[in-house]
A and B are shown apart, each in its own frame.
Chain A
Amino acid sequence: KAGVTQTPRYLIKTRGQQVTLSCSPISGHRSVSWYQQTPGQGLQFLFEYFSETQRNKGNFPGRFSGRQFSNSRSEMNVSTLELGDSALYLCASSLAGDRTNTGELFFGEGSRLTVL
């Protein structure tokens, strides 16, 4: 069974540009969440999608957005990039249903974004 796939793995952008990151969850997983990982800050929750609906959102500015498609694949977009957006962006999928998610998050290897 294929794991969570994130593309691209590495990318370099300049300030002011925008970026789109893609995540393909494990087959059958309908919940996809995104995290930003930076040294010393740990993982910061961005948002979570279930069946194309955003169920939860973290405390990030509106420049960070996401969406989920009918096949559960998800994308996140960051517009007007800032130097501080340099980070590892992790996607995770899970078997979360309509009720409380008590299960495991399955993470991809991440997309490492460098903003110059």
Chain B
Amino acid sequence: AQSVTQLDSQVPVFEEAPVELRCNYSSSVSVYLFWYVQYPNQGLQLLLKYLSGSTLVKGINGFEAEFNKSQTSFHLRKPSVHISDTAEYFCAVSLSGTYKYIFGTGTRLKVLA
């Protein structure tokens, strides 16, 4: 069965410091990979996605992620975070050939002044 693991439930980081949010997945078939962000009292919005091609994907708000097939990972990074990046981040996979998304349990990023 396919699954998505976000090992860190909470990540505190100081403003202007770099951050990495980890995501690992398990699947025996091809997948598409996504990162979504959820601000308080809002729905989710797409940060970036990997469908094929270059394994380094750039998204909105200065975020990027790297697809590592051998390690089945899709970690999200930002070189310098801002207070406004405080939110919950979800990693998701969509199985190639299906219409179903599997989400991780989320990582709450708290940016400290």
A binds B: yes
A37 to chain B, nearest CB (A): 9
Contact check, B43 vs A100: say whether CB atoms are below 8 A apart: no
- State whether A42 touches B42 (Cβ < 8 A): no
Q: For A100, list chain B residues within 8 Å (CB).
A: 96-99
Q: In the bound complex, how far is the Cα of B90 from the Cα of A42, in angstroms?
A: 8
User: What chain B residues lie within 8 Å of A55 (beta carbons)?
Assistant: 99
Per the bound structure, the CA–CA distance linking A56 and B99 in Å amounts to 7
Residue A81 at the B interface, CB < 8 A? Answer: no
What string of 1s and 0s marks CB contacts (under 8 Å) between A26-37 and chain B?
Answer: 000001010100
CB interface residues, A 74-116, toward B, < 8 Å: 90, 92, 96, 100-102, 104-105, 107-110
Contact status A102-B51, CB under 8 Å: yes
User: Interface residues of A toward B: which range?
Assistant: 20 to 34
Count of residues in B whose CB is under 8 Å from the partner chain = 27
- B98 / chain A contacts, CB cutoff of 8 Å: 56, 100-101
Distance between Cα atoms of A42 and B106 in the complex (Å): 6
Q: Given A56-B98, A101-B94, decide whether A42 and B43 contact each other with a Cβ distance below 8 A.
A: no
Most-contacted residue by chain A among B43, B49, B92, B102 (CB, 10 A) = B43
Q: Point out which of A40, A96, A102 has the most chain B C-beta atoms below 10 A from its C-beta.
A: A102
